[in-house]
Structure 1
Amino acid sequence: MFKSLKEKLKGVSKKFGSSIDESIANESATGDLQKEIPSAVLEVTETQQKAETKTNSFSENQILHDADELSVSPAEVSPTEPKKASFAKKLKVLVTEREILLSEKDIQEPLDELEMILLENDVAFDAVDTIISHMKKSIVGQKRKLRTSSEDFVKIALKEALMEVLGEGFSLTEYINLHEKPVKILFTGVNGAGKTTTIAKVAHYLKNNGYSVVIGSGDTFRAGANEQMKTHAERVGVKVINHQEGADPSAVLFDAVSYAKAHNIDVVLADTAGRFHNRANLMNQLEKIRRVMKPDIVAYVDEAVAGNDAVIRAEEFNNAVGTDTVVLTKADMDTKGGAAISITHTIKKPIMFLGVGQGYDDVIPFEPEKIVNELLGADI
């Protein structure tokens, strides 16, 4: 999943680290290190050097003279112990604890490369701009100790930038536990995005987590939709409510909610016909479904492999009928990851699930931190 983006982010993280290390080396080579050592420290170390030289020049006569003055035996008098390599020690501390101030010039080349990588992997421009701005804020003008790994330093900044764009995930089980039953979830989206199969997967997921489920087959427009949903429902072991082809989908979903209330069902999963936002009659029908069903959650479903198109459509659906959360199908086939990174940032709504295969078990809750760690190849 997101293989192409993962490999390129790994490469650019190393490039950031190399650029930072190079700027450190250049600073040290041009003598900037000595400039950053406080003059007071240099004065102290020079004084200590002179004192050590003087101490080491004590003669035996001086020792005998001191012994006579103090009325003690010469054996009891010894020269002051020199503070061995005190200057070297102080310099070592200054070097190992020294911090450098990073400038935008130090990282401009990898920063430009990161921007191109994100755009080439279908990350929306606004999301790219947010990530680049966060990287600049996290690195430029910041001080970093030399002993800190430059690559890790960059990965932390990149992780924070990606987390800012992805936002928080959406836990369906937590939502169900905190709300009155039945929880009603309405699935919307364009034709062919995989809503029907996704609903079956979510039903299977909820059953495995101990919830009772009923499905409302509200796609009365597409030929064979009822039969397809009935087949899925039988395979995952849940009840499906349906009417004949061409029936009013609002009536079907009203009956599904009524059934759930009468039988103490935890969750209603409502299917709808695929539609595009520019089909006014279908969007009006969807608005009627919302008024009749009164869903708790409206979940927009689209393909992760659609990239920027999925982001644009999600925004249009959100503007037209509203969206509470997103499900992205075919994430296992998506090498780029642009839709997953961009949708939350664009419509300000969280991703709930990723579809990652053909089986009923192949749907996973979207966990932003886990996704970012996988992208960066590390648990930071």
Structure 2
Amino acid sequence: MFDGLKDKLSNFREDAEEVAEENAEELDEAELDEPESDADVEAEAVGDASEPDADAADESAPEDGEEEESSDSSGGFVSRASSLARGRVVIDEEDLEEPLRELEFALLESDVEMSVAEEILDQIREDLVGEERKFTESTGALVEDALRDALLSVIDVGQFDFLETIEAAEKPVTVIFTGVNGVGKTTSIAKVAKYLEDRGYSTVLANGDTYRAGANEQIQEHADNLGLKLIRHEQGGDPTAVVYDAVEYAEAHDVDVVLGDTAGRLHTSSDLMSQLEKLDRVVDPDLTIFVDEAVAGQDAVNRAREFDDAAAIDGAILTMADADSQGGAAISVAHVTGKPILFLGTGQGYDDLQKFDPEALVEDLLGDDD
């Protein structure tokens, strides 16, 4: 998943590590003995205060076999901690200019939104350029840490636990799904229903997609496969009324969660977007989830922004993530909307729904291939 983006990030790491290595120098012994921070100074003071006087030292002289351990402990914490520092590096911005330019091109080629790419670059500059950095293992660790922090700063946005939110909300919880036609929205609703049912939450489905021919039959098939109740009206009916009826059904039958489908719509379709605004106003759902394809890249990012403007979304599901080598939507959607990605769709089966973990994604993007 996102292998193309992973390769591009690896290329930047190699280039930036080369720059860092060229600017690295070993610390000499005098520098190693110097405290490197306020914490070191404090540790040294504690070490000095804890050293016994000569008389006390005579009384507590080590027995044979204990001399090495005693010598180590009396040497002070600071020198041991300082000696962990292997070197230092100061990187000028002009030295990093070429790798950063190549990274920017690589991100844009991977469908990362422009402002998101710029923020990633700015974060890397802030972390790497200008200031002296000490390193204990390799200059590569400095570059990897900077890249990790930059990616997390744009991906890990407003993350919340979907199940914890369902658990904490007053029942029934109403969750509305929005998005364009053909991106796997209805299938994603069925997957979320299965996800909740497997974890002990009862669900009812509501087909608010009253415009599309065959929509009732499609979601009814999912409901039958999962053994769930579906609330539906005839084609051409009011989608808000369908979801409202589903909420009433849930209240009467002690159902935990209402999962409401809506008509797939283009963000440029003003009448359908108005219907979405009405649904948001009348039903006041607890959560509104935007669904789009990871492989849609920049288009998914633009649509997420528009749908969020029409009826504020709370999170997103990206389908077909297993088929996406670029990763641009996964990198960008959360940042441009300020709302997190909650799940990734990774196949057609009802269990092919993966909880989105920003830190795990970044670790995978920066990890070495086996």
**Is TM-score (shorter-chain normalized) higher than 0.5?**
yes
Residue in structure 2 matched with residue 19 of structure 1 by the alignment: 19
**Partner in structure 2 of residue 340 of structure 1:** 330
Q: Which runs of 4+ in 1 moved over 6 A?
A: 93-96
Greater Cα offset, 199-208 or 6-15: 6-15
Shift of 1:105: 2.6
The answer to whether the aligner puts 1:153 opposite 2:142 as a matched pair is: yes
Deviation of 1:291 after TM superposition, in Å, equals 2.4
Deviation of 1:355 (Å) = 0.7
1:259-308: CA deviations, max 9, x gaps? 11111111110001111222222112222222232201111111111101
> Could you tell me which residue of structure 2 aligns to residue 130 of structure 1?
119
Distance in structure 1 (CA, Å) of the matches to 2:294 and 2:85: 46
Question: Which digits, 9 at most, give the CA deviation of each residue in 1:308-341, with x for residues without a partner?
Answer: 1111111111112221111111111110000111
Alignment of 1:74-223 (within 5 A): 97-145=86-134, 147-168=136-157, 169-223=159-213
Which of residues 302, 317, 320 in structure 2 aligns to 1:327?
A: 317
Give the CA RMSD over aligned residues. Answer: 2.3
Q: How does 1:208-357 map to 2 (within 5 A)?
A: 208-357=198-347
Deviation, structure 1 residue 184: 0.4
Identity %: 50
Displacement of 1:7: 1.6
- Deviation by residue 1:165-191 (Cα, 9 ceiling, x = unmatched): 012433210101111111101111111
Look up the equivalent residue of 1:225 and give its one-letter code.
A
Map of 1:44 onto structure 2 = none
1:327–1:351 CA contact under 8 A, matched in 2: yes
Listed one character per residue, the Cα deviations across residues 129-162 of structure 1 (whole Å, up to 9, x for unaligned) are 1100000111112323354312221111111111
Give secondary structure in 2 for the equivalent of 1:214. Answer: strand
1:158 aligned partner, one-letter code: L
Give the Cα separation in 2 of the matches to 1:140 and 1:250: 54
Matched position secondary structure for 1:270: strand
Find the counterpart in structure 1 of residue 68 from structure 2.
none
**Separation of aligned partners in 1, 2:129 and 2:6:** 24
Aligned residues of 1:186 and 1:270 also touching (Cα < 8 A): yes
**Mind listing any 5+ residue stretches in structure 1 that lack a counterpart?**
42-89
- Structure 1 counterpart of 2:91, which letter? L
1:45-72 CA distance string (max 9 Å, x none): xxxxxxxxxxxxxxxxxxxxxxxxxxxx
Greater CA radius of gyration, 1 or 2? 1
Distance 1:98 1:253, change over 3 A: closer
Asked if structure 1 preserves the Cα contact closer than 8 Å seen for 2:179 and 2:185, the reply is yes
| CA distance 1:14–1:242, change in 2 (3 Å) | same
**Structure 1 contact 190–274 (Cα < 8 Å) conserved:** yes
1:170–1:325: 8 Å Cα contact kept in structure 2?
Answer: no
Distance of 2:146 and 2:122 partners within structure 1: 11
Q: Given the two structures, how large is their TM-score scaled by the length of structure 1? A: 0.79
Change (3 A) 1:252 1:19: same
1:364 equivalent among 322, 347, 354: 354
> Number of residues paired by the alignment?
320
Counterpart of 1:365, as a letter, is K
Give the 3-state SS of the residue equivalent to 2:8 in structure 1. helix
Relative to the length of structure 2, the TM-score reads 0.81
Query: 1:96 deviation in Å?
Result: 6.3
Pair 96,271 (structure 1): closer, same or farther in 2 beyond 3 Å: closer
Give 1:109 shift: 2.0
Gaps of at least 5 residues in structure 2 are 35-78
Shift of 1:99: 2.2
- Partner letter of residue 314 of structure 1? A
Residues 300 and 326 in structure 1, CA contact (< 8 A), matched pair in contact too: yes
Q: Deviations over 1:238-268 (max 9, x none)?
A: 2111112222111111110001111111111
Letter of the 2:185 counterpart: K
Q: Secondary structure at the match of 2:235?
A: coil
**Contact 1:170 / 1:351 at 8 angstroms: preserved in 2?**
no
Is the contact made by 1:23 and 1:106 (CA closer than 8 Å) also made in structure 2? no
Are the aligned partners of 1:219 and 1:225 in contact in 2 as well (CA < 8 Å)? yes
Using the TM superposition, give the Cα deviation of residue 214 of structure 1 relative to its aligned residue in structure 2, in angstroms: 0.5
Secondary structure of the residue aligned to 1:145 is strand
Q: Match for residue 6 of structure 1?
A: 6
Q: Determine helix, strand or coil for the equivalent of 2:196.
A: helix
Instruction: Give the conservation status (yes or no) of the 8 Å contact 1:170–1:366.
Output: no
